Structure 1
Amino acid sequence: MHTGNVAVVNGWGLFGHPLFVGRLEDIVSEVEAIMQKSPDDYLDHPVYKLFEKVDKAIRERVPADPAHAQFLLGNTLGKQNRDWRRVKSALPNRYRLFFRFSSQAPKSIIYVWLNDELTLRQAGARTDVYAVFERMLRSGKVPSSYEALLKTAGALPS
Structure 2
Amino acid sequence: MVDRKDVGSWLEGPTQPADPAYLPGSDLGLPAEGPGSVARIAPRLGAIFVDWTLCSLIAAALLGYRWGAQGSAGFMPLLVFMVENVLLVGTLGSTIGHRLFGMRVVGVDGGPAKPLQALIRTVLLALVIPAVIWDKDQRGFHDKAAGTVLLRTSPKRH
TM-score, normalised by the number of residues in structure 2: 0.27
Which has the larger Rg?
2
Structure with more of its chain in strand, by fraction: 1
Higher relative contact order (CA 8 A, sep 6+): 1
Structure with more of its chain in helix, by fraction: 2
